[in-house]
């Protein structure tokens, strides 16, 4: 038995939790799992909004059936085609052969491309509405949040925004479905990790989406991941505004690679001096231990970044190379950067990190430090100078 969870009198949550998948997009760790949220409007035309990842289909169908008790779904709104949401579309279309699939022009092309479905489709355009009986669904295009076909669906009567990936979060819904049923603050880190790694590259499209949605009276935001918002909407909109403008707070992320501990010792030296200078928020990561998605999430949070790497085959350490490559792809703006590194016979890492700082167009702070073999007094003091320069820059920003 399952007692359906209501968003309103006739709108139901039909999402599922996934605590088994290790990597989202086969890339990002899901230490706290992930929720795939779907919603059901029980009206004259029974309408499903998005589906779930296909491996969760049994749990999903059980939730649908608990609401519909055998009645058929008439329409499926597809706000986003990424398979964590659209993965069950083909099965739903087979189970309900008369169902009409609703999406925009790009969605319909992807429905054909992914599933070979070319009939029973309804194309919607910016601002258009469809009526289900007692509910009016209005569609707004939100391209690149997070794919080009992404859109959101606003139910006018209930003032509920079905926002696809936007305002979503990693992490399962452990009993609490709504933000006022849980310790919502515990979701902020996973919400930022989700945003920064999924949509972080698309700050400008996110800004456009926020501007477009600012004209709506929104009482509830129902994303395809994470808690349904009905209490913390202003805070989350504010976070999205800050993140998409690449605004950040006072703090330093130190990320380093180290084979034998020498570069790590430089990182420790930098961190200690930062603390002596009054920097409270210092986040230090060994890139060989911590997945880049967590480091990037903190770089979205804090203004300063200090990177350190040993020279490895005349290049950066491969795990630092992976981080800086991902940062370049993400295109985070307006950060301060300091760099350091070590080598045994010929240094290349600091040169490569300087090139990265220039390529990503961050403001370089302090004098780069490169040590040969073990950390000695001169470079130890140089690491402290680097930290001092960064602390001063942070205070004056
Ligand atoms: Fe949650 Fe872009 O899919």
Taking CA atoms only, the protein residue closest to ligand 1 atom 3 is 82
> To 5 degrees, how large is the angle CA 275–CA 348–CA 323?
60
182 shares its domain with 121: yes
Q: Find the residues whose C-beta lies inside 6 A of ligand 1.
A: 80, 82, 84-85, 146-147, 165, 224-225
- Number of Cβ within 10 Å of residue 314's Cβ equals 13
73 shares its domain with 10: yes
pLDDT tens sequence across 197-248 = 999 999 999 999 999 999 999 999 999 999 999 999 999 999 999 999 999 9
| Separation of CA 174 and ligand 1 centre (Å) | 20
Which helix or strand (DSSP H or E) is residue 324 part of?
Answer: helix 318-330
| Separation of CA 240 and ligand 1 centre (Å) | 16
Contact predicate 14/166, CB 8 Å: no
| Separation of CA 248 and ligand 1 centre (Å) | 24
183 shares its domain with 302: no
257 shares its domain with 333: yes
Taking CA atoms only, the protein residue closest to ligand 1 atom 1 is 165
Ligand 1 atom with minimal separation from the 198 CA: 2
165 shares its domain with 267: no
pLDDT tens sequence across 176-186 = 999 999 999 99
Q: Positive or negative CA dihedral for 386, 388, 391, 393? A: negative
232 shares its domain with 261: no
Beta bridge partners of 18: 34
What's the domain count of the chain?
2
283 shares its domain with 382: yes
Q: In the listed set 214, 244, 274, which residue is the last one of a domain according to the structure?
A: 244
| Separation of CA 314 and ligand 1 centre (Å) | 38
Q: Is 36 helix (H, G, I), strand (E, B) or coil?
A: strand
186 shares its domain with 54: yes
| Structural domain boundaries enclosing 330 | 252-395
Specify the CATH number for the domain of residue 78.
3.60.15.10
| Separation of CA 290 and ligand 1 centre (Å) | 23
Q: In the listed set 183, 215, 244, which residue is the last one of a domain according to the structure?
A: 244
99 shares its domain with 116: yes
Specify the CATH number for the domain of residue 343.
3.40.50.360
284 shares its domain with 190: no
Q: In the listed set 244, 261, 292, which residue is the last one of a domain according to the structure?
A: 244
pLDDT tens sequence across 167-176 = 999 999 999 9
pLDDT tens sequence across 316-350 = 999 999 999 999 999 999 999 999 999 999 999 99
Is the confidence at residue 370, as pLDDT, over 90?
A: yes
260 shares its domain with 229: no
pLDDT tens sequence across 54-106 = 999 999 999 999 999 999 999 999 999 999 999 999 999 999 999 999 999 99
Is the confidence at residue 397, as pLDDT, over 90?
A: no
228 shares its domain with 259: no
Ligand 1 atom with minimal separation from the 150 CA: 2
DSSP conformation class of 229 = B
């Amino acid at each position: 038995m399952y007692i359906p969870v209501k968003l309103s009198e006739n709108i139901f949550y039909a999402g599922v939790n996934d605590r088994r998948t290790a990597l989202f997009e086969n890339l990002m760790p899901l230490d706290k799992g992930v929720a795939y949220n779907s919603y059901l409007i029980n009206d004259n035309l029974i309408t499903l909004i998005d589906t779930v990842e296909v491996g969760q289909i049994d749990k999903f169908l059980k939730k649908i059936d608990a609401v519909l008790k055998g009645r058929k779904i008439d329409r499926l709104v597809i706000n986003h085609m990424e398979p964590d949401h659209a993965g069950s579309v083909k099965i739903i279309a087979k189970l309900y052969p008369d169902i009409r699939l609703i999406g925009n022009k790009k969605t319909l092309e992807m429905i054909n491309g992914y599933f070979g479905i070319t009939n029973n489709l309804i194309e919607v355009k910016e601002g258009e509405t469809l009526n289900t009986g007692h509910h009016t669904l209005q569609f707004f295009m939100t391209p690149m949040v997070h794919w080009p076909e992404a859109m959101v669906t606003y139910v006018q009567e209930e003032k509920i925004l079905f926002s696809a990936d936007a305002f979503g979060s990693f992490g399962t819904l452990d009993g609490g479905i709504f933000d006022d049923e849980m310790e919502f603050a515990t979701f902020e880190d996973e919400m930022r990790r989700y945003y920064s790694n999924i949509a972080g590259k698309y700050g400008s499209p996110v800004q456009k989406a926020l501007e477009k949605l600012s004209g709506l009276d929104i009482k509830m935001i129902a994303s395809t991941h994470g808690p349904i918002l009905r209490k913390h909407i202003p805070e989350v909109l504010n976070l999205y505004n800050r993140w998409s403008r690449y605004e950040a707070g006072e703090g330093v992320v130190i990320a380093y690679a180290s084979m034998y501990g020498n570069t790590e010792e430089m990182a420790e030296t930098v961190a200690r001096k930062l603390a002596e200078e009054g920097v409270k928020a210092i986040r230090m990561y060994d890139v060989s231990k911590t997945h880049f998605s967590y480091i990037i999430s903190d770089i979205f949070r804090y203004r300063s970044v200090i990177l350190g790497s040993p020279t490895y085959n005349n290049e950066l350490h491969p795990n630092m190379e992976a981080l800086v490559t991902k940062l370049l792809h993400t295109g985070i703006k307006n950060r301060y950067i300091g760099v350091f590194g070590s080598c045994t016979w010929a240094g290349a890492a600091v040169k490569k990190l300087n090139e990265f700082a220039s390529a990503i167009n961050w403001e370089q702070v302090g004098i780069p430090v490169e040590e040969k073999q073990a950390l000695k007094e001169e470079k130890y003091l140089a690491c402290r100078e680097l930290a001092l320069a960064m602390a001063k820059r942070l205070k004056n920003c």
